[in-house]
Structures are given as structure tokens and as C-alpha cells.
Structure 1
């Protein structure tokens, strides 16, 4: 990473005492102004979790795929967006989902789970699990085969993806055959007591800071004991046997790098099929940089290769 880029990141990583959920959301909502959104081939649906309607948005890779609509037969990526369980939404992740659908030539289904702090753990996870169950059990799209579904998420969405598959194993309602975790948050501590070197090395000057991660965890948890729950921090899970084939992408200058890679190693040691790929020079959240970015291109190539493997 060159000196100018690093200096810009240092400035952007400055922790302002004025930070608030409202301000952070207003900033991310600016993505709704993206003109490319009008090109999206999409269909909106809803799934009920009790009385709450979980919005889901289907992104089609082509006009022909779009014409099939709810009769679509083919492969699917069930996508859980990031944002620290607090920011971002289906709307603000539209460009990323469009890119993913086009690159993989699969249907991408984005889940609008409820966000903290209004809805704390485990409500966001329960929304994601309900959406996944509806898809796997044919309630959302009737022509989709369970073996053709991959669950994927980035950052907090990677956390929710990992937790979802742990929950699916415990409940036995369904089990994805593949999961993709993109710079996932799978641990419960970003203070000076963190066991991970990447928190110490990358926790201050690379946009996502350790301090901000602690803020997000505090907003997500309902009570302090939640941090000891494997559904909150999947790296705490004691038995990770029998989980899906997994691809984990991490970023070199990300405070979450080491925990994601450690989770992958534990999955491997438990006998699961796992691929762990670190993207050199990349920072957390690089997917937002757009499809022409070298890190995004490399990641999409790795994802497409993973999806084609038997």
C-alpha cells in the first residue's frame, strides 16, 4: 500500500465523537442516488417472520432470467449484507448484488433483515434464518433445488451467514451445501485483549477500526452474555463438524482478517471442505469499490471458481 493511500485512510479512519447511528445511516443512504440502480433486473418479495414482513429482493443476471420471474429454475445466492448489523440495507447494497448476479450468472436474493439497535441479537439472525428456510423449503421459489443454493454474506452479513449454518445444523430444518464468508466478523472482542494480531495491526488506520467494531457489537448485543453465544460469535462454536463447503475471503489490512482465517482453519480441522483466500493490499469493505476494482475482480473470480467446483 503506497504512502498516499495510507495517509488518506488514516484521515478517513479518524474516530469522531459525533458518530451516531442516525449519521452513519444517512451517509450510507446516499448510495440510493446511484444511477446504475435503474438498470437492475429485480423482483421484490416478502417473507413473514411472525408479524414482520421480511423484504427480499431478487436480482436476475439477464433479461431471459428476469422473464422467468417466480418460475426461475437454477442456481441461487442467498445474500446477507454487511453494515455492522446497524447500517446498510437491500437498497444500499443494490450495486453489489447486481454485480454478483452478473458475474456468477446466478439469481441473487438479498435479505432485508431488521437492524440493531432497534432490533438486537438474535432478531436479525432469526430474520435471516426464516428467509433461508423459506427458500430451502420451496416457500419462496417453488422450482429451486436445495443443492443449488449457496448462502453468502460480507462482514456482519458473513457473521449472519456463519451463524445461520450453525443454527441450521442444530435445528435440522435444512442445510446449505455451500457458504461464502467475505471478510466475516466471527469474534466477540476488539479491545486490547483481542487475541488476534490483525486487530492490533489494522485496528486504527484502515477505515474499519477496532473501536468502531466494539461500538457495533455493543449496539447488536441485547445483554453482555450474548457475546458468549456462538450464534453471536461463531468462532466460539465447539462443534463445527458437518458444516457446508466453505469459501472465506479476507483482506490483508482488515482488523477482522485473522478471526476469519482462524474460523476457516477450525472448520478444516473439523473435517469440512474449506478454502481460505487472503486478498493482498485490500481493506475491509472493498466490495463497495465496484466491479472494475482489482480486489473485487479477483474476489468475483474466486467466487465463480468456487461455485463451479463439485
Structure 2
């Protein structure tokens, strides 16, 4: 495989491209068909049969609406603390039902309670509705830890994948900006942290290398972003694009995990380096051969197993990168 974005070179060879195309999602118009995608996801989701594995609760929003949350309990509770999870889906799709299997896996493999948040979705509820829900649940858990087993703030870890990782990063930024107690750590899985995913203008090679024909396309990310934040002038603000934040100090210790064959790879790793430069203890890992969305894969998946190797060791306090990763060379990093 050639280096993505190398002048005059394709990002992957023809055989690799043909194999990867097997994993490409059919192209749909997300702005027109997001409801169909939601219905399909729910039809494929699995609700756990064991009633002792999960508990549904709700947190009341500031305007009185209820924010559903679901607590998942591991088969063997071996570690203290709570993983507060924000699901992916481009701020438009996904919910606690479609991520139930993923959260059960997370609870079992980490030995910790997982609390999944069913935040409001765009386009019916554009920014900042989903972020406000995530903030409300986070602050409630920090203020009343008995709601999730008595975890101290230091033992609460924000976890998000894709758009959920964007929300986790934004929650941490907002809490710090307001001088509120922060969780002890955050795990950002293939996060979207900046607004520009047009291959013609993006500063990141991975957008051009992997922005078409794979699990997630650049056009889909742009559709999601347009539904989440309809005002183009506000998409570069820090709570929508955390990489644009002028002040990244005071953030929780962070693990960033990216997928090699993902258009969001370079920006996620750039965010990790920016956090590190601002003084935040940060670990940056890349899962080789992985596509966007690997956290929802079955437990026997090699990519999932490798990702959990990093997650579990990070939760145990290991902050050392497993290997050095090459930074982008086009001046995109902070």
C-alpha cells in the first residue's frame, strides 16, 4: 500500500481497492433517507434477553424533556468506575437500542458498567440539542455518582465513536471552559473533530485517500454535518469542530483510536497531537486494516480485539503509544 495522498500515486492498489469495495455501504442520500436508515438499524438491533444485564433510566433535561439512558452490567464486574458512552451515527442515526450489543461487549471486555446516552438526533433536533443532552447526563453523573454505582469523577470515562466521540470531546471542552469538574478520562474512537471533509479543500490526506467507496464517505460526513449544524458559518466553532479550539488545556487524559482505512483518521490523530501539545496526557493509536465503525463488529473481529487491547490498557493507566505514527506533512496539524 502506498502512502495516502502521495503525489501521482493511488492511495491503495487495485486489488486492495477491489477487496475494500466489498465493505462499502450503498450510497444513499442521507438528507432524504435518514429515516429509512434509522428503521433499518432498529430492525437489525438486538435487545438483550437477560433483564439483569441492563437497566433503563432517564435524566431530565433543563427544559423538562427526558433523556433516556441505559446502564449495562458486565457478566463479571471487576473494575470500578463507569464508561459514559455516546454513540455514533453522524448525530442523525443510532440510539441505545442499535448500540445495545456494542455496549454489552464493552461492559464485558472492560469489566465496567457502561452508561449509554440516547441523546436527541438531528435534523429534528440540530446542534446544540444532542450536545446539551450529553452535557446534562455527564454533569448529573458527576454530581450524583450514586446513579451509576458510586463512581467518583476520576473514575468516570467518556467514550464515544465517530460523532459520539465528537460529542465527548465537546463535552470535555465545555466543562473545562465553564470551570466544572471533568471526568477522569476520555476515549475517542475514530472521532470527527473538524468540519471540512471536501476532498478538494480538506487539509487531510485520509479524506482524499479513503473518502469514497468505503464504509463511510466524505459526502456522507458532509451531509451529516449539514443536518447537525445547518449554519455553515458556525461549523468551525470549537463545540462542533473541537480541533478548532484555541484552548485545549485542562482536558481529561485521552486515548484517541483511529482506523487506518478511514477518512477521519488524520484529523483524529491531529486532535490527539494537539491535545498532547497543550499538555494533556494523550495516547494515540491506529488500528491497521480497520474501517470506520469497527467498534460495532463481532467480538471475534481482529480490529475490535486490537482496539480493546488499547482501551483496556489505557483504562489501567498505560499512556504509552504502542508505536510512533507519522504526522500529516501538509501543514494540517496545529
Return the TM-score normalized by structure 2.
Answer: 0.85
| Equivalent residue number for residue 5 of structure 2 | none
CA shift, 1:284, in A, is 0.3
Q: 1:38 to 1:278 in 2, by over 3 A?
A: same
| Equivalent residue number for residue 235 of structure 2 | 227
1:229-272 alpha-carbon deviations (Å, 9 max, x no partner): 10011000011011111000000110100000000010011111
| Equivalent residue number for residue 196 of structure 2 | 189
Written as runs of structure 1 = structure 2, the 5 A alignment for 1:56-71 is 56-62=69-75
State how far apart, in whole Å, the 2-side matches of 1:30 and 1:8 are.
22
State how far apart, in whole Å, the 1-side matches of 2:186 and 2:227 are.
26
Which of 22, 25, 29 is matched with 1:8 structurally? 22
State how far apart, in whole Å, the 1-side matches of 2:119 and 2:30 are.
28
| Equivalent residue number for residue 291 of structure 1 | 299
Which of 42, 45, 49 is matched with 1:38 structurally? 49
State how far apart, in whole Å, the 1-side matches of 2:250 and 2:26 are.
39
Which of 245, 249, 252 is matched with 2:253 structurally? 245
State how far apart, in whole Å, the 2-side matches of 1:119 and 1:174 are.
27
CA shift, 1:63, in A, is 6.7
State how far apart, in whole Å, the 2-side matches of 1:48 and 1:193 are.
41
State how far apart, in whole Å, the 1-side matches of 2:97 and 2:115 are.
13
| Equivalent residue number for residue 48 of structure 1 | 60
1:119-138 alpha-carbon deviations (Å, 9 max, x no partner): 00011000000000000111
Does the CA contact (< 8 Å) of 2:82 and 2:148 recur in 1? no
Does the CA contact (< 8 Å) of 1:13 and 1:204 recur in 2? no
Does the CA contact (< 8 Å) of 2:31 and 2:227 recur in 1? no
State how far apart, in whole Å, the 1-side matches of 2:156 and 2:74 are.
16
Q: 1:188 to 1:89 in 2, by over 3 A?
A: same
| Equivalent residue number for residue 20 of structure 1 | 33
State how far apart, in whole Å, the 1-side matches of 2:58 and 2:29 are.
37
Structure 2's unaligned 5+ residue stretches are 1-14, 319-334
Return the TM-score normalized by structure 1.
Answer: 0.91
Deviation above 6 Å: which 4+ runs of structure 1? Answer: none
State how far apart, in whole Å, the 2-side matches of 1:293 and 1:94 are.
17
State how far apart, in whole Å, the 2-side matches of 1:107 and 1:278 are.
25
1:198-253 alpha-carbon deviations (Å, 9 max, x no partner): 00000001120000000000000142222021001100001101111100000011
Give the match's secondary structure for 1:9: coil
CA shift, 1:176, in A, is 1.4
CA shift, 1:7, in A, is 3.1
Which of 160, 166, 180 is matched with 1:159 structurally? 166
Give the match's secondary structure for 1:38: coil
Written as runs of structure 1 = structure 2, the 5 A alignment for 1:193-208 is 193-208=201-216
| Equivalent residue number for residue 104 of structure 2 | 98
State how far apart, in whole Å, the 1-side matches of 2:31 and 2:61 are.
35
1:121-167 alpha-carbon deviations (Å, 9 max, x no partner): 01100000000000011163472211111011000000000000000
2:93 is the alignment partner of 1:87: yes
| Equivalent residue number for residue 70 of structure 1 | none
State how far apart, in whole Å, the 2-side matches of 1:7 and 1:179 are.
32
Does the CA contact (< 8 Å) of 1:13 and 1:208 recur in 2? no
Aligned-residue RMSD, C-alpha: 2.0
Matched pairs, number: 300
Which of 290, 302, 314 is matched with 1:306 structurally? 314
